[in-house]
Structure 1
Amino acid sequence: MKFQGKVLNWNDDKGFGFVEPNGGGQRAFVHIKAFKPRTRRPVNGEVIVYELVHENNNRYKAENIQFARDLKNLNKRSKAKSASNFGGVFTIIFCAVVLLSTFSGKLPAIVVGLYIVMSVITFTAYAIDKSAAQNDRWRTQESTLHMLSLIGGWPGAFFAQKKLRHKSSKKEFKRVYWVTVVLNLAGFFWLHTGKGINFIDNVISPLLNV
C-alpha cells in the first residue's frame, strides 16, 4: 500500500530522517538508499510517496520511496504522450479518408491539394512563430494560426506542435485548436452530402475550369 507524507528531521550528512503521513498516522524512518530511483536528495518538508514496512523491533520504515513531484510530472508526460499518439493516429486516418474520397471520385483532387498546401503553410507559420519567440521578434497572432487550421491546415498544425514543440503545452490554445479541427471536419463531411456535392459542381468545379 502506498502512502504520502512529508519528510521531517532530515539529516543530509547521515542520509536519513523521518516521514509523517498526510492526515496523520504512523511516523516512519527514511533512509537515502530507500529512494527509487535515487535522482536527488530530499529536504525537510518535501512530499514523498512510499511503502510502509513494519520491522521486528516494532518500528516502521519507508521503502520504495519516490518524490511526489516527480510522480506528478511523470503522469503528466504519460498523458501528454497518449494524447499525442491518439492525435497522430487520428490525423493519419483522416488523410487516408481524404485520399480514398478523392480516388473514389467523391471529391475533386483540389481538396487533397488544399489540405496539403494549407498544412505546409501552417507548419511553416508555426516554425516562423517559434523562431520569433526564441529571438524576441514580432509574433504571429494565435487567431491567425487557428484560422489556418480551420481552412484545412490543422494536420500541419498538429505535426508542427509535435515536432517543433510549439504551442503544444498551452491548454487554452489546444482547446481552440481542436475546435477548429472539429469545424473543419464538419465542413469536410458536408462536402459528401447532396448540398456539398452541388457546391462542388456549381462553385468549385467551374473555378477549376477557368
Structure 2
Amino acid sequence: MGKVSEWNDDRGFGFIAPLDGKPARVFFHVRDYRLDGRRPEVGEVIRFTAQRQADGKWRTLTVRRTVPAVRQAKPAAPSRAMPWRPGSALPGALAIVAYALLIAWAIGAGRLPLEAALVPLALSAITFVAYALDKHAAQTGRWRTPESTLHMMELAGGWPGAWIAQQVLRHKSSKRAYRVVFRAMVVLHLIAAAAWLWGRA
C-alpha cells in the first residue's frame, strides 16, 4: 500500500510514496488508475503493484483506491468552493442570452447580415470539440491542448461553446484560476463585439 504524494492532473501522472518506505517513490500514470469516473488525489491511500524498469526506477502496473483521500484539516471553505452549487450556471446562461440578443439586434438594425449568426455558432462548435478532445487527452494521458489556446478560442467568439462544454463535460470547471481567465475572455469579447457593432452605425 501507499499514498499519492504528487499528482500532475494536466499531464496525467504522479508519484506514490509506499507506506513501508521501499522504494522511496513509485511513478504512476492515469492509465494505471483503476477507478473510472474520478481522478487521483494527493493524500489518498491506494493499493498498487509495481515493477522495476530497466533504468532502475519503479513504475506501477495497477493502482486501486482503498480509502478516501487523507487531507489536512482546513477551515470550513466558503460555498463558492463548490463548483456545481445550484444556480452557478445562471450567469453563463444569461451571458449567452445577452449575446444572442446583441447579434439579433445587430441583424435587425442592418449592421450585420443574417449569415453572421452562423459565425458564433461555428466558433462555439469548434471550441466545444476542442474541450472534448482535451478532456479525452487528460483521461488517456495524451498530449493536452494548452490552456492559452482554449482561451484564445473563447476570446475569438467560441466562449458559448466553452461554457456549454464546462457544464456538460465537467471539464475545466473546477480549476478556479482557469475560470477567472475564462470569465475575462467572455467580458472582453462582449465589450469588443458591442463596440465594433456600435461603430458600424
Match of 1:149 in 2: 154
Is 1:92 paired with 2:92?
Answer: no
Q: Which ranges of structure 1 fall in alignment gaps of 5 or more residues? A: 1-45, 48-67, 199-210
Match of 1:128 in 2: 133
Q: C-alpha offsets along residues 94-122 of structure 1, whole Å, 9 cap, x if unaligned?
A: 21321232133222234322111100000
Identity %: 37
Match of 2:27 in 1: none
| Structure 1 residue identity aligned to 2:197 | H
Q: Tell me which protein shows more helix as a share of its residues.
A: 1
Distance 1:147 1:190 in 2: 19
1:97/1:136 Cα in 2 relative to 1: closer, same or farther (>3 Å)? same
Q: C-alpha offsets along residues 130-166 of structure 1, whole Å, 9 cap, x if unaligned?
A: 0110111111110110000011000100011111100
| Structure 1 residue identity aligned to 2:138 | A
Distance 2:138 2:79 in 1: 27
1:168/1:78 Cα in 2 relative to 1: closer, same or farther (>3 Å)? closer
SS at match of 1:152: helix
| Structure 1 residue identity aligned to 2:175 | K
Q: C-alpha offsets along residues 60-80 of structure 1, whole Å, 9 cap, x if unaligned?
A: xxxxxxxx96xx587743874
Q: 1:114 aligns with which of 116, 119, 122?
A: 119
Q: How does 1:196-207 map to 2 (within 5 A)?
A: 197=200
| Structure 2 residue identity aligned to 1:124 | V
1:160/1:192 Cα in 2 relative to 1: closer, same or farther (>3 Å)? same
RMSD over aligned Cα atoms: 2.5
SS at match of 1:192: helix
1:193/1:101 Cα in 2 relative to 1: closer, same or farther (>3 Å)? closer
Q: C-alpha offsets along residues 14-41 of structure 1, whole Å, 9 cap, x if unaligned?
A: xxxxxxxxxxxxxxxxxxxxxxxxxxxx
Q: Which ranges of structure 2 fall in alignment gaps of 5 or more residues? A: 1-72
Is 1:161 paired with 2:154?
Answer: no
Structure with the bigger RCO (C-alpha within 8 Å, sep 6+) is 2
**Greater CA radius of gyration, 1 or 2?**
1
1:191/1:75 Cα in 2 relative to 1: closer, same or farther (>3 Å)? closer
Q: How does 1:151-190 map to 2 (within 5 A)?
A: 151-190=156-195
TM-score, normalised with respect to structure 2? 0.57
Aligned residue pairs: how many? Answer: 129
1:132/1:73 Cα in 2 relative to 1: closer, same or farther (>3 Å)? farther
Q: How does 1:17-96 map to 2 (within 5 A)?
A: 76-77=81-82, 80-96=85-101
